[in-house]
Every structure is written in C-alpha cells, then in structure tokens.
Structure 1
C-alpha cells in the first residue's frame, strides 16, 4: 500500500485522482482506515487552515497510525506554492519516522510552477507577483524559497537534483521541467521522507510501479442530473465566470449580505436563501452558490466564518433537495462542507482534469467533484 497525508482536501483528492491513472484501487478518508484494502490510501486534513500547533498534532496522529500499517511509502502532500505550516509538519514527521532528512519537491512544471536558483516562479514570473499575493490565509510576499517557508535558522537547503545532498535536514528540490521531477524520484530511498506536489507524486509512482501490470480499468459512473456548484475561491477567473452566467440569466444565487454580516446563520434570511437554492435546483437541475466579492468589503466577518455559513447552506440544501452531484471549488470550503454533511470516505471514480476529481461518497446517492481554487475546470462542466 502507498499512503498519502495531505494538508487540505482538494490536494488529497488531486493525488487520489492520479492513482486512477495507474489503475490503482483508491480510498480517501478523513481518518486512517486500518482495514483498508486500497492500493493507494489518502488521508485528507484541513491542517493548512489551522494554527500551527493543531496542524502539527494532526500530522503526528495520522503519521503514527500510517506507520503502524507499514506502507511501501508515505508521501506528504504539500501545497505546490508552499502555503501552510510546511516546515513544522515535516519536522514533526521526521521525528516519528526516525529519518534524518526530507526531500520536498513542490514545483510542478506541467502547471507552470517552477523553482530555480532558490526562487519560485509561476509561468515565468515571480510567484509573489501573482494572485497568490492576495491569499487570505498565507499571502505570498516573496518568491525566495527560504522566505516562503519562513525558515528561521533551521536546516533547510535548496538543491538541484544533480548536487550532493546533505545527510540531514529538509531539502527543497529545484525543478524547471518534468524530467527534473523524474530525476529527483530516482534519488529517493526508504530512509527519506518524501514530500511535495502532484508532479513529484506522479514521478514517484512512475518509479515505484515501473514494469508492473496495471489492473483492469473500471467503468466511470455516468454524471447525474441534479447538481450544485459551490464556489469558495478568491480567484478571479471563477468569479468572473459566475458573473457571466448570472448576467445571462443562469441559476446563480449569491450569499445575501444580511447572512454575510450576521452572527448566527439560523435566521429567517438563511432559510429563505436555502429555499431559493432548492428551487433553482428543482427548476434547472443545477445551481451555483457563491459569495460576491463586493458583499465582503468593509466587513469584519472572516473567511473561515463565511466558509462555515456556505457549508451550512449546502448541508441544508442536501437534506431538502435531490442534489446528486456536488461540484466544489476551494479546499477549505470543501472541508467545511464535508464536515457539516458528515461525509468521511470517498472513492475516486474519475479524474476529469488535473486536480479535478469526481468521487463517490459514503452517501451512496451523492458524488462530489472538487478542485483547488487556482486550477482550471475542464471544458463543458460549467455549461449552463
């Protein structure tokens, strides 16, 4: 068995979807399932949204439980642009595994995310000049790797795959093309903690599964008609797409301002909003819920509170409608939603595009499709 621990839900789903490319049996859960029979078992957490102390405790708990299962590899999935408590979590895992070093390859050249000369670039430009500089939780203000990681005198090294590696510490691997990821994979052994983004995970699977006969592909379940799209991202492309659909008369329902500014969500306005969404789903077989950026200006309500309110709405709609397909953008939003809806196990059935993964849930009547906010939706999914 291959095991993965991810610091957000969409990152976990992304790697679970990659497992489908190799015809692995895949299970994703919010807790370790010691009885799993999956070839690839992925643990999803919300560690990126938590204070560092809590994030470290979660990683320690899941690492201990996975080590007891003696997997062939534990891969630590990090954010590709190094948001979150990356160093603290890796150091905690190193102390449990007994390994002296970790190799972190977060670059993903296939998505335009490269590391060279100690700097991080997004499509050739320093990453701090991108929309990631406006991230509500981990705004990126520098493209220097050691500053992005908030390294403070710790043993952190930025290296090319061709260089001599130190015997201890955390090594950040530079990569400007996919072949660099493959080269890093060839240097990994069983005494190294392996971490990074989806490109490096793919390279590790190529190495581990080389020459093995793939299992028979399974049939992809047909997409069901009643769909609810949930947008929890701050990225402009998705917001602009929703505005266009709304302007064309599409079934879009923004969170009302009175709910955004209210302390409690169990108000008349909340119930009214849920009723509007249920009606849209019934009449159109699909609906979109989102938060208009204009409504959040000059308000003290935090991003976490808004995600909880959105999750509460979705849970209400699921109980009162025929929604069969949830399509969710944004890892923290997805986590809030599955937590309130008591969804705990997921079985990937289709990788619709890189990072866009459709999964059967532990509710047999519900599928969920998720993606990170900065990734692209596949053509046709948003046709209204």
Structure 2
C-alpha cells in the first residue's frame, strides 16, 4: 500500500529523492509516466515516485499535470504527498506547488527547499548555493533554464498569486496558531528556512507533531527526514556487485559536470566528444557511417576501463550552436535530440553485450535513454555519493544497473571516486 506519493519534475530528481527511502529499506518504485495508473501499483510498494516531466513545460501545462496526479492520489486515499522540486529552484516551482495545494483543498503547504549535503540552504527566504544567492551561481547562467532571482516568494510569485510566508524555527509557532486548519481560510505556501540537516530534522518533527506533514514540498534534502517520521524504515538492502569498468554518458551542460569530466580525463578516462551531427542529426546513427562509429566505440569499451561519451563542445567552441542555427533547431530541440541520440547509442551497446557499469548525467539524457530502451519503471537502490544514485532496471529478462545524477551535483573528483568505488567487490 502506498504511504507516500512523490511527484518529481525530472527523472534524475525522481531517483535522487526516491533513493532516500529505498536506502532506508522502504519498497520504492520510480515510474516515468504522469498518467501512470495508481491502481496497478504492486501492493508491496510503500513509496511511489512519479516523474511528471514538467521541468521544461509551460506553467499552465505543469499546473494541469500536477493537479491531475494530486487529485488521483487523493481519490486513492494516499496519506502523504510530497512535491519534489529542483534543489536550485529551476522549473515551474510556483505553478506546481499551487496545483498541489489547490487539488487537495488544504490551507497550507510547507516548502523546505534546503539540501545541506549539497551546500544548498535557505535564509530569510533567499536560497543559496555554496553561500552564493542562487541567481548569482552557475544556475543563474544555465543556457536552458536560468534562475533569475533568489528570493523564493518572488520565484513563486512569477507563476502564482497564492500568498507566501517565510517561516523559521524561531517563528514556527505562527504556523501552529495562525495557520491551523480550523482558523486558516486563505490558502498559503509556507517557505521554511534551514541550513543544516539537524534543522530539517527539527522542522520535520514539528510538522509531523502538528499534523502538517500530509502535504509538503522540497528536494532530496528534506526527503532524507521522511523515512523515519513516516515509519518507512525497514531492513537494510543486500550488497550489489558491479562491473568494474565504467561508461559515462554525459548530456549535461552544467559547469559542475564539465569540471568532473575534465578531472576524469586528466586522470586516465578516455573522453569521446560527439560531433554536432552525432548529437543532433536524427538519421546519423542509422547511416553506414553511424553504424561503423558504434562498432568502433564498442571495441574501445573492451580496451578501456573508463570511457566518457560527452555531448559538450570544446571550450571556446560553439559547434552545437552553429549546427543548430544552420538547421533551424531551437534550444528545446537541441536538448531532446541529444537525448534521443544517446538513447540509440545506449540501446546498441547494451544489445551488443556492454560489459561496463553505466552512468548517465542529466535528467533529459536519462529519460531519453530509458525511453529508447522501453523502460518505464526503475528501482532506486542506494546513493554512491550525495545525489548520485544506483538503480535497477529490467531489459527483457535481464536486470541492469545504472548510476544517475543531476548535472549540478557532485565534487570535481566524483567520476574518479566512483571508478574506484565500483572496482570494489561489493557496494
């Protein structure tokens, strides 16, 4: 029976939040369809994570999807709902939180966006990344979805007219009195400050004790608090054996991931940069030249233990932009074509007997790969590093593992550290 439904706006976010429960022993599933039938969920599943794929949609489209999922969850009498948001506040934050609040008919929704383990925290309603306001961080320069302001009520207000209030541990009593279900008549979003895991735990316990836990929102940071509060801790998992070779498929343009790739290349990884036509020409991989290239890469994977497939341009070059301009491609079309190309590449390699542990960075790339493989459901297992998730997926009769992470997560040494970790006997 589902105790908790999590609605995420992208695939890597669905996994890095779902794994917080799987690692505690809760039976957790991640599905990739916003139309997933809640009646078909296995009775043993306790936590269901739905990847609604609303990150790149219009605010209205995102609202409608989240509203519909929430309504269906209420009809199924799922007791706890969690709206997973991006830890850097990208996407349709205002419209999605408002949709969940409206669909439930509740008067308040508590939003706790901090993720202390990733150095992301909130003070007086301003969200920080590594002690820098988020709009001034690398996320303010994102080519697809830059975060243009750091004050959360302002971010929400761009898409919603719902009242927003800032709450801290010191004034939390206001929620207990002024915002009780009996007295509060105006719907309101409550944004909670937090900088440490201990603060998130304290606030979580407070919300649970005051019956305000049924409708909450945040990223994987606050999700780490929920298994214990909701009684979802179970037996520990069994050890996993991974193939010691590592194949990294990178579709992220985030500078944090770029630094990880550079460091890995300097430390012995073979880095293959895809040419513009290999990323963006949808017919390339079915051509004789494309098939020859795939065969070459398959052979390289047998002679190199750590390989990166990278869709980014060389520093100082704008080959992708030039190709897109010449072929009339929008930014959205670039993003999706790269994901489709990677999906084709991965399908070929797996069908050719890939003998490497697979890692995919970027939610669009992960979704594109899984869709091309016909995978609609994944089972998170554990975190190999904060925000870096190991999951199972089925392909035919075979169980496979994949490591995934958001482009904005991880230290510079992450890929090298992972290569060392998976070379161990068990994880």
TM-score normalized by the length of structure 1: 0.89
Check conservation: 1:128, 1:140, Cα contact below 8 A: yes
Q: Aligned to 2:375, what secondary structure does the other structure show?
A: coil
In structure 2, the residue matched to 1:9 is 11
Shift, 1:29, TM fit: 1.9
For residue 369 of structure 1, the aligned residue among 387, 399, 403 is 403
Q: Structure 1 residue aligned with 2:338, among 273, 290, 306?
A: 306
**Structure 1 residue 229, shift from structure 2 partner:** 1.3
Q: 3-state SS of the aligned residue for 1:220?
A: coil
Alignment of structure 1 residues 302-381 onto 2, 5 Å? 302-323=334-355, 325-363=357-395, 364-376=398-410, 377=414, 380-381=417-418
Aligned-partner SS, 2:224? helix
- Structure 1 unaligned regions, length at least 5: none
Residues 324 and 98 of structure 1, relative CA distance in 2, 3 Å threshold? farther
Distance 1:305 1:83, change over 3 A: same
1:235 matched to 2:254: yes
Q: In the aligned structure 2, how far is the partner of 1:68 from the partner of 1:325?
A: 40
Q: Is 2:172 the counterpart of 1:157?
A: no
Establish whether residue 271 from structure 1 lines up as the match of residue 279 from structure 2.
Answer: no
Query: Cα–Cα, structure 1 residues 19 and 85, in superposed 2: closer, same or farther, change >3 Å?
Result: same
Aligned to 2:195: 176
Deviation at 1:221, TM superposition (A): 1.8
Residue 136 of structure 2 corresponds to 129
Query: Contact 2:389–2:403 (CA<8 Å) still a contact in 1?
Result: yes
Give the Å deviation of 1:329: 0.9
Corresponding position: 1:23 with 2:25: yes
Q: Hey, what does 2:226 align to over in structure 1?
A: 204
Alpha-carbon contact 1:108-1:198 (below 8 Å) kept:
yes
Q: Which residue of 2 aligns with 1:48?
A: 55
Query: SS at the partner of 2:382?
Result: strand
Equivalents in 2 of 1:153, 1:131: separation in Å?
Answer: 28
Structure 2 CA distance for aligned equivalents of residues 249 and 123 of structure 1: 29
Gaps of 5+ in 2: none
Q: For residues 63-92 of structure 1, give each alpha carbon's deviation from its aligned partner in whole angstroms, at most 9, with x where no partner exists.
A: 234334333311111111211112212222
Task: Return closer, same or farther for 1:252/1:98 CA change in 2, 3 Å cut-off.
Answer: same
Contact 1:254–1:292 (Cα < 8 Å) also in 2: yes
Deviation at 1:48, TM superposition (A): 0.8
2 CA distance for matches of 1:226 and 1:61?
42
Greater displacement, 240-249 / 164-173: 240-249
Conserved 8 A contact 1:344-1:362? no
Structure 2 matches for 1:59-70, cutoff 5 A?
A: 59-70=66-77
Cα distance change of structure 1 residues 153 and 71 upon mapping to structure 2, 3 Å threshold: closer
Contact 1:330 1:372 in 2 (8 A): yes
TM-score (norm 2): 0.80
**Number of matched residues?**
381
Q: Distance in 1 between matches of 2:92 and 2:287?
A: 36
Residue 139 of structure 1: aligned partner: 146
Residue 52 to residue 343, structure 1, CA distance change in 2 (3 Å): same
1:222 matched to 2:249? The reply is no
8 Å contact from structure 2 (residues 63, 98) kept in 1: no
Please tell me the root mean square deviation across aligned C-alpha atoms, in Å: 2.6
Farther-moved stretch of structure 1 (148-157 vs 75-84)? 148-157
In the alignment, which residue of structure 2 is the partner of 1:195?
217
In 2, the alpha carbon distance for the partners of 1:287 and 1:361 equals 22
